[in-house]
């Protein structure tokens, strides 16, 4: 089984990225041949600062390795180190119906948030299809917001296969329902671009402040809260604390008597401690950046060998060769 996923270097990675995508992806490393990459071509649709792209790319590499990506099991690379993906994206655009892209929520959402509607932003799902199909991927671990993009990939692969003969493997998304959409500090889906994210790595003081600013209602501590399971701090605590601990807080909130301030303090402590080992690992990696570069270069070389093979298949099928 080949497993593939990507993450954009468009800002600091957060708990939604970690629990929705990175942790499931890291756990899948042992169940097949995993290919994970940093989607820097995709980031060009929303980020135009070259220096920010460079430093975010390095940060994603550090974050992923610190969180447990094992480069001796997994092929880890920068998307742009395998430029074959852009040729495949062109080939795929020619069999992609306009209507398929016009229906994509993510395009509409991004425009609504003020990202400029470039052709790249519109064609984003085609490049993502190329990422997936270029490596004969079977399984794509992602958060719920990417489900439609994997469905589009399947439609494009089927269309190509119908047009030019059996060429591509049809992939499937793998979404862990318990963490499919992690809430941010305002209760909406946590996202780099909504300003509601809690970073995986960062300075203690601002992160403590951020967690203390979680939006709660105005009920008094004494008041029982029958909807305790809907509380954002409880939902986040379930991710970072052992189940008996989060259950205890949830029960106390439900019964009344637990103040939101105390709940948030507990959330911060558990969050901070749960990433202590990863933080230490990240500091080691920062001290050895040539190692990180080597990992990405070796990953790119392996990815490229497979990419060239699959691209050739598509070129022959479509009569380019
Ligand atoms: P963002 O929305 O912050 O820009 P990305 O689009 O780069 O995040 O997402 C990278 C990966 O993390 C994707 O697989 C996405 O589904 C997952 N992800 C992002 N935010 C969340 C969230 N709040 N809950 C669950 N998964 C998420
Ligand atoms: N679109 C994905 C996101 O924003 C990133 C991505 C690019 C991706 N190519 C991919 C994810 C291929 C999975 C497979 O999160």
The verdict on 148 and 297 lying in the same domain is yes
CA-CA distances (angstroms) from residue 88 to 115, 135, 311? 25, 11, 7
The verdict on 51 and 171 lying in the same domain is yes
Catalytic residue among 23, 147, 159, 192: 192
pLDDT value at residue 192: 87
The verdict on 231 and 303 lying in the same domain is no
For 211, the enclosing helix (H) or strand (E) is helix 204-212
The verdict on 210 and 296 lying in the same domain is no
End-to-end CA distance of the chain: 29
The verdict on 78 and 226 lying in the same domain is no
Measure 265 CA to ligand 2 centroid, in angstroms.
34
256: left (phi over 0), alpha (psi -120 to 50) or beta: left
Residue 189 lies inside a defined structural domain of this protein = no
User: What single DSSP character describes residue 74?
Assistant: S
User: What single DSSP character describes residue 61?
Assistant: H
pLDDT value at residue 29: 96
Tally: H helices and E strands in the chain: 15, 5
> Can you say whether the dihedral through the CA atoms of 238, 241, 245, 248 is positive or negative?
negative
Q: Domain holding 88: CATH number?
A: 3.40.50.620
Residue 172 lies inside a defined structural domain of this protein = yes
Domain that holds residue 261: 202-274
pLDDT value at residue 214: 95
pLDDT value at residue 2: 98
Residue 194 lies inside a defined structural domain of this protein = no
Residue 127 lies inside a defined structural domain of this protein = yes
Q: Please tell me the distance from the alpha carbon of residue 165 to that of residue 159, in angstroms, as a whole number.
A: 10
CA-CA distances (angstroms) from residue 221 to 9, 109, 215, 232, 238? 41, 37, 15, 16, 20
The response to whether residue 8 sits with its C-beta less than 6 Å from ligand 2 reads yes
Residue 157 lies inside a defined structural domain of this protein = yes
Residue 192 is among the residues annotated as catalytic for this protein:
yes
The verdict on 174 and 41 lying in the same domain is yes
For 173, the enclosing helix (H) or strand (E) is strand 172-174
For 156, the enclosing helix (H) or strand (E) is helix 147-164
Q: Which atom of ligand 2 is nearest to the CA of 128?
A: 9
pLDDT value at residue 28: 96
- From the list 90, 92, 84, the residue with the least C-alpha distance to 168 is 92
Q: Which of 4, 20, 121 to mutate to test the pocket of ligand 1 (most atoms within 8 A of CB)?
A: 20
CA-CA distances (angstroms) from residue 317 to 56, 126, 166? 37, 19, 8
The verdict on 250 and 159 lying in the same domain is no
The response to whether residue 58 sits with its C-beta less than 6 Å from ligand 1 reads no
Q: Domain holding 228: CATH number?
A: 1.10.240.10
The response to whether residue 246 sits with its C-beta less than 6 Å from ligand 2 reads no
Residue minimizing CA distance to atom 7 of ligand 1: 8
Residue 314 near residue 91 (C-beta atoms within 8 A): yes
The token duo for 174 is 């793998």
The verdict on 15 and 142 lying in the same domain is yes
The verdict on 300 and 215 lying in the same domain is no
Residue 263 lies inside a defined structural domain of this protein = yes
The one-digit pLDDT tens for each residue of the chain (321 residues) are: 999 999 999 888 999 999 999 999 999 999 999 999 999 999 999 999 999 999 999 999 999 999 999 999 999 999 999 999 999 999 999 999 999 999 999 999 999 989 899 999 999 999 999 999 999 999 999 999 999 999 999 999 999 999 999 999 999 999 999 888 999 999 999 998 888 999 999 999 999 999 999 999 999 999 999 999 999 999 999 999 999 999 999 999 999 999 999 999 999 999 999 999 999 999 999 999 999 999 999 999 999 999 999 999 999 999 999
Measure 219 CA to ligand 1 centroid, in angstroms.
31
Residue 175 lies inside a defined structural domain of this protein = yes
Q: Please tell me the distance from the alpha carbon of residue 219 to that of residue 205, in angstroms, as a whole number.
A: 27
The verdict on 158 and 10 lying in the same domain is yes
Measure 131 CA to ligand 2 centroid, in angstroms.
8
The response to whether residue 131 sits with its C-beta less than 6 Å from ligand 2 reads yes
The verdict on 119 and 25 lying in the same domain is yes
Overall pTM surpassing 0.85 (yes/no): yes
- Tokens 């959409």 locate to 181
The verdict on 262 and 298 lying in the same domain is no
Measure 210 CA to ligand 2 centroid, in angstroms.
27
Task: Give how many domains the chain has, as a whole number.
Answer: 2
Measure 234 CA to ligand 2 centroid, in angstroms.
29
Residue 264 is among the residues annotated as catalytic for this protein:
no
Residue 21 lies inside a defined structural domain of this protein = yes
pLDDT value at residue 263: 97
For 261, the enclosing helix (H) or strand (E) is helix 260-274
Residue 147 is among the residues annotated as catalytic for this protein:
no
């Amino acid at each position: 089984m080949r497993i593939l996923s990507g993450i954009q270097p468009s800002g600091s990675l957060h708990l939604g990225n970690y629990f929705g995508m990175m942790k499931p992806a890291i756990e899948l490393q042992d169940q097949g041949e995993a290919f994970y990459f940093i989607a820097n071509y995709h980031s060009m649709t929303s980020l135009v600062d070259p220096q920010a792209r460079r430093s975010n790319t390095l940060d994603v590499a550090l974050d992923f390795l610190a969180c447990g990506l094992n480069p001796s099991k997994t092929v880890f690379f920068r998307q742009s180190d395998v430029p074959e993906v852009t040729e495949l994206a062109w080939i795929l655009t020619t069999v992609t119906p306009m209507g398929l892209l016009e229906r994509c929520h993510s395009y509409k959402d991004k425009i609504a948030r003020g990202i400029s509607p470039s052709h790249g932003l519109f064609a984003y799902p085609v490049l993502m299809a190329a990422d997936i199909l270029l490596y004969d991927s079977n399984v794509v671990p992602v958060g719920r917001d990417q489900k439609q993009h994997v469905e589009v990939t399947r439609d494009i692969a089927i269309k190509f296969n119908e047009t030019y003969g059996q060429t591509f493997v049809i992939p499937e998304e793998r979404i862990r329902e318990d963490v499919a959409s992690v809430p941010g500090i305002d209760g909406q889906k946590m996202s780099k671009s909504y300003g509601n994210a809690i970073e995986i790595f960062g300075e203690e003081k601002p992160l403590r402040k951020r967690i203390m600013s979680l939006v709660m209602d105005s009920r008094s501590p004494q008041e029982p809260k029958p909807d305790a399971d809907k509380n954002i701090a409880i939902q986040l605590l379930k991710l970072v604390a052992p189940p008996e601990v989060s259950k205890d807080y949830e029960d106390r909130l439900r019964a009344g008597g637990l103040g939101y301030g105390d709940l948030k303090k507990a959330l911060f402590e558990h969050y901070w401690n749960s990433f202590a080992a990863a933080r230490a690992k990240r500091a080691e990696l920062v001290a050895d950046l040539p190692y990180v570069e080597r990992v990405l270069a070796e990953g790119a070389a392996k990815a490229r060998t497979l990419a060239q093979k699959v691209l050739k298949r598509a070129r022959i099928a479509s009569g380019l060769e």
